Amino acid sequence: MCGIVGYVGRSEAAPILLDGLKRLEYRGYDSAGVAIVNGEGVQTRKCAGRIAALSKLMAQKPPSGSFGISHTRWATHGKVNDTNAHPHFDQSGKLALVHNGVIENYGALKAQLVEQGHTFETETDTEVLAHLIGSIYDKIDNNDSKGRLVNATREALKQVIGTYGIALLHADVPDFIVGARRGSPLVLGVGRDENFLASDVSAIVAHTRDAVYLNDFDLVAVERDKFEISSIDGETGEHQINKVEFTSEDISKGDYAHYMLKEIFEQPDSVRDAMRGRLNTEECTAKLGGLNMTAAELRDVGRVVLTGCGTALHAGGVGEYLIEQLASVPTEVEFASEFRHRNTPMTRDTLVFAISQSGETADTLGALRESRRKGYRTLGICNNVASTIARESDGGVYMHAGPEIGVAATKSFTSQVVILTLIGLLLGRMRNLSTAEGSRLIEALEALPDQIEDTLKLSDHIKSIANKYVDVSGMLFFGRQFNYPIALEGALKMKEITYLYAEGHPSAELKHGIIALVRPDLPSIFVAPDDGVFSKNLNNIEQVKARKGPIIAVTTQSGAKQLKGIANDVIVVPDAPDTLMPILTVIPLQLLAYHLAVGLGRDVDKPRNLAKSVTVE
């Protein structure tokens, strides 16, 4: 959940490292630091706070040198302060290390090192790893300092239990960085007479678009003009250099105040791109070659399990309704964090989908591995074609949503729901879905981007609604059927960026206890398009109204007529089939959370305690 940037070349390292950290600040931001080597040893600058604080510190006392490592932290072990900020050092003070992940056995390792006379300055597991590597390095009798550092890292990591993405350097080993990964992403950027390490390619795309995505248990030795990748066991193999699809301009905010707002407004394009080339109008079905399954294998699927975390889990919730409605295949949604730790009974005809925007979510990756370990075909739905989930799954579907920088996921959610719709359409047309039904669904899918454009025009109206509720203590969200997961997602967005209490519920559960919460200072948001359960939703809305609870309704034009005089505020989205309505109804909830967060003065793109990609448990 933290960010790593490393550089070795001929340019000054400091500006490159600092720029990379700024691009990774969404991954973690409670402290940051750099370590740069020149003839005077390791120069370190680190402090608690945002990257701006580190930038100010470096401007006051600029470090000089052409190779170095840097880090932006999201705390796991130790308080948020200057001391616990990365990089951390070994006993000699010559080896500096930055680390993402968790060393689970750091306590036992630390006790051993203390017995050997080591003293520690921080509360972190990372410092223990630095001491361990440094201790082994100092004991190796070899004049090849680069080989010593690689072997010391290799031997130390064999003793480690846990996850890591690391980059390290040593004052006595010039122009040389060592990196390694297990369970935490690390990418090598290949330049001309310069090379890079980063936890996310967005940190280095301004300098190179050639990247090697490291696998678990890979170890890389990086110099200016070459690199060598081997396994922790010392074996070498082939690693493909990939071309990064996006540019540095793609990850800029442009004219928008926040990345989140930009990404909300990118949804017409991201939804269009999610289905581009995947609609077969002649056969009224979807084309998803990346599933790597024959038609016969797809027909044999008797059960579908969707697993993910957070927003991806809510997309799976919509997918459950979609696949069962369109294909009549029993489908269920599992928390990835629970799936991997419990014995879920599944039949051999079960197809598992692991859903993750980054493709690196630790719990989802663990669920994928557990599913494959037990012999189930497991596919990925992710936004990074070179991610670990994409590489380790049996196949899958790439979202084509483009970079998503905002911590609160928006466009990735709608892209995931579109892809799950395509999966439902494909499975349905192989079973009970008629040509006419398939054709109508394709027509509705093709109309979606324009309908999203129309929905986005409501932003100012939604802002005026948000301004009315800046003093509330929380909100309740309600929906039924396809829109129940939208209530969950709306509540999550509200929690993430406003810090208000917010909970999502099925509308019919109101009378089963939740109605006790209704009061004049706690608004209820009902996702209630004019569908087959609209009258049921209307009854629930009346119950809240009778108890003086403020009501915000997200509905369609015909529903708005019936809600006039009942709801305090009405947001009208275009008409669409029930199966696609969640893609339209979620957008007002994204905008409502955004505008309320801005009104409350929240840091929308860097909400407290959160990071974009959760790569630790």
Q: By the 8 A CB rule, do 149 and 170 touch?
A: yes
Alpha carbon distance 51, 72 (integer Å) = 8
Q: Which residues pair with 524 in a beta bridge?
A: 476, 551
Nearest C-alpha neighbor of 565 from the set 586, 551, 581: 551
Looking up tokens 């708005």, which residue turns up? Answer: 560
Residues 6+ apart with CB under 8 A from 496: 407, 408, 593, 607, 610
* 3-class SS shares of the chain: helix, strand, coil, % to 5: 40, 25, 35
Q: Residue 27, Cβ neighbours under 10 Å: how many?
A: 27
Q: What's the first-to-final CA gap in the chain, in angstroms? A: 10
- 3-class SS letters over 164-222: EEEEEEECCEEEEEEEEEEECCCEEEECCCCEEEECCHHHCCCCCCEEEECCCCEEEEE
Q: Please say if 284 is a catalytic residue.
A: no
Of the listed 2, 284, 309, 382, which one is catalytic? Answer: 2
Nearest C-alpha neighbor of 430 from the set 309, 251, 285, 593: 285
Q: How far from 79 is each of 48, 74, 306, CA to CA, in Å?
A: 10, 10, 36
Q: Is the dihedral of CA 445, 449, 453, 458 positive or negative?
A: positive
Residues 6+ apart with CB under 8 A from 124: 77, 78, 84, 86, 88
Q: By the 8 A CB rule, do 197 and 186 touch?
A: yes
Q: Residue 287, Cβ neighbours under 10 Å: how many?
A: 13
Q: Which amino acid is at 431?
A: R
Q: What are phi and psi of 378, to 5 degrees?
A: -130, 125
Of the listed 110, 262, 493, 612, which one is catalytic? Answer: 612
Q: Please say if 2 is a catalytic residue.
A: yes
Residues 6+ apart with CB under 8 A from 482: 318, 321, 322, 578, 579, 581, 582
β-pairing verdict for 474-479 and 524-527 = parallel
Instruction: Just list the catalytic residues.
Output: 2, 612
